Amino acid sequence: MKFHAHIARHVATALVVMANVAPAAATQNCPGGAVKLVIANPPGGTTDLLARILADKSRAVLGQSVMIENKPGATTTLGANYVAKSRPDGCTVLTLTAAGVVASVYRDKLPYNLNTDFVPVSSVGSFPMVIAVSTGSNLRNFQDVVAAIKSKDGIVYGSGGPGSLGHLSTVRLIGDLGGRGNHIPYKGNSEAMHALMADHVQLFFPSAAEALPLATDGKIRLIAVTAAERLSALPDIPTTKELGYPEFNPRLWYGFVVPTGTPEADVTRLREAFMAAANDPTVKERFASLGFASEVGGGQALADHIKREAARWSKIIDDNNLRAAQ
């Protein structure tokens, strides 16, 4: 079964369950009796799937429904701004990802401040990323990629847009290797992946979840995965640690935050629900089937992680003079 069909089936199942199981009595007066879980990405992707799985499980702990609302656009900043400006009443939660932190340090001017406008609730886990190359290229292993990056013309690489996680991950790789790259940004990872399959670019840096089905179908070639150990779904793909780059480990991670000012009792209630859902054995099993590494933590753990990630990506942005003025 193809991976996209696998995801679609999980999403459909989650939707049916959420639609047909009556929610327990609400414990607070949220509009419609439901907590709104905002996803700053289009529906149908891995972020959407993960959120729906957790929403279904967390409902029993919360005692009320959890409604998914997709608000994509501007590299996740539209959804983030929506939540930042929402009432701090425990009824609106943002699914924060690594891309959201990258966006917050890439742009000089945003209508919100990630450090002051949100309260961390809990962390969930992450997908490793992969170095993917076009099948029409002569890049067959990591040594070939290194040679291309260090060549006179450098490597041609795509991304889901300026300041995206894939863009900055590739910039860091090229910088670490002391080479050159020619960046072609696209409007989202889907466009970038199609460009890779069409041989318009040589390299792209997606998450393992995005790349796995296409690699299985022979439409792209995977060179390395940013994990400490090889993935069970990709046993023949070496890790960056194996290849001598243990510190090169960007990952697409997930957590939950709420607007600053949300009462502590509501933050605690949400934290307990999301952590209980993420630690549920059936949820962990479903996550593992998608290549997702569960790394459940509380608010302080997420706050510390955001701080480390912001510092790491900010340095890469500044070192390469990439900060956007808008």
**Is 50 exceeded by the pLDDT of residue 3?**
no
- pLDDT the model gives residue 20: 37
Report the C-alpha gap between 255 and 84 in whole angstroms. 15
Short-list 76, 72, 79, CA closest to 252:
76
**Is 50 exceeded by the pLDDT of residue 27?**
no
Average model confidence (pLDDT) across the chain? 89
Which string of DSSP letters, residue by residue, matches 222-279?
EEEESSSS--TT-TTSPBTTTTT-TT---EEEEEEEEETT--HHHHHHHHHHHHHHHH
Q: What is the pLDDT of residues 91-137, one digit of tens each?
A: 999 999 999 999 999 987 899 999 999 999 999 999 999 999 999 99
- pLDDT the model gives residue 16: 39
Please report, for the chain, the start and end positions of each structural domain, with discontinuous segments joined by +. 3-126+251-319, 130-225
Q: Are 225 and 242 spatial neighbours (Cβ–Cβ below 8 Å)?
A: no
- pLDDT the model gives residue 172: 96
Name the residue with tokens 């608000």: 71
**Binning pLDDT at 50, 70 and 90, where does residue 2 land?**
very low
CATH superfamily ID and name for 3-126+251-319: Bordetella uptake gene, domain 1 (3.40.190.150)
Rounded to two decimals, the pTM is: 0.84
Q: What is the dotted CATH code of the domain comprising 130-225?
A: 3.40.190.10
Q: How many CA atoms lie within 13 A of 316 on its CB side?
A: 25
Q: Are 299 and 119 spatial neighbours (Cβ–Cβ below 8 Å)?
A: yes
Q: Same fold for the domain at 3-126+251-319 and the one at 130-225?
A: yes
Residue 221 burial (C-beta neighbours within 10 Å; 0-12, 13-18, 19+) = buried
- pLDDT the model gives residue 107: 87
Report the C-alpha gap between 8 and 13 in whole angstroms. 9
